[in-house]
Amino acid sequence: MTYFRPVALEHASRLLNHGPTVLITSRSRDGARRNLMAAAWSMPVEFSPPRIAIVVDKGAHSRLMIEESGAFGICVPAAMFIDTTYAVGSVSGAEEDKFSRFSITAVPSATLNVPLIEQGCVAWLECRLLPESGAQEKYDTCFGEVLSAAADERVFQNGRWNFADANASLHTIHHLGAGNFIRSGDTLRAKAP
Amino acid sequence: MTYFRPVALEHASRLLNHGPTVLITSRSRDGARRNLMAAAWSMPVEFSPPRIAIVVDKGAHSRLMIEESGAFGICVPAAMFIDTTYAVGSVSGAEEDKFSRFSITAVPSATLNVPLIEQGCVAWLECRLLPESGAQEKYDTCFGEVLSAAADERVFQNGRWNFADANASLHTIHHLGAGNFIRSGDTLRAKAP
Query: How would DSSP label each residue in B173-186?
Result: EEEEETTEEEEEEE
Structure confidence at residue B129 (pLDDT): 98
Which helix (H) or strand (E) is B15 found in, with range? none
Q: Mutation test of the interface with chain A: which of B7, B56, B57, B141, choosing the one with the most A Cβ atoms within 10 A?
A: B141
pLDDT of A91 reads: 82
Of A43, A181, A193, the CB nearest to B43: A43
Reply yes or no on whether the pLDDT at B160 is more than 80: yes
Q: Could you check whether the bond before residue B49 is cis, i.e. omega within 30 degrees of 0? A: yes
Q: What is the CATH T-level fold of the domain B4-183, as seen in this structure?
A: Pnp Oxidase; Chain A (2.30.110)
3-state helix, strand, coil in chain B (%, to 5): 20, 40, 35
Q: What is the pTM of this model?
A: 0.97
Over residues B64-85, the pLDDT tens digits come to 999 999 999 999 999 999 999 9
Reported as a pLDDT band with limits 50, 70 and 90, residue B95 is confident
pLDDT of the residue at B89: 84
Are B74 and B124 contacting, i.e. CB atoms less than 8 angstroms apart? yes
Q: How confident is the model at residue B58 (pLDDT cuts 50, 70, 90)?
A: very high
Q: Which of A43, A63, A84, A137 to mutate to test the interface with B (most CBs of B within 10 A)?
A: A43
Q: Report CA torsion sign: A124, A129, A135, A139.
A: positive
pLDDT in the model for residue A90: 81
Give yes or no for residue B36 having a pLDDT over 90. Answer: yes
Phi, psi of B15 (to 5 degrees): -65, -30
Positions of chain A with pLDDT lower than 50, given as ranges: none
Residue B168 pLDDT more than 80? Answer: yes
Residues of A in contact with B135 (CB under 8 A): 132, 134-135, 141, 143
Q: Are B146 and B12 in contact (CB under 8 A)?
A: yes
Q: Tell me how far apart the alpha carbons of residues A176 and B184 are, in angstroms, rounded to a whole number.
A: 11
User: B106 φ, ψ to 5°?
Assistant: -130, 150
SS3 of B27-51: ECCCCCCEEEEEECCEEEEECCCCE
Chain A within 8 Å of B135 (Cβ-Cβ)? yes
Q: Which residues of A touch B20 (CB under 8 A)?
A: 19
Do B27 and B34 contact (CB within 8 A), yes or no?
yes
Please name the member of A43, A173, A189 whose beta carbon is closest to the beta carbon of B180: A189
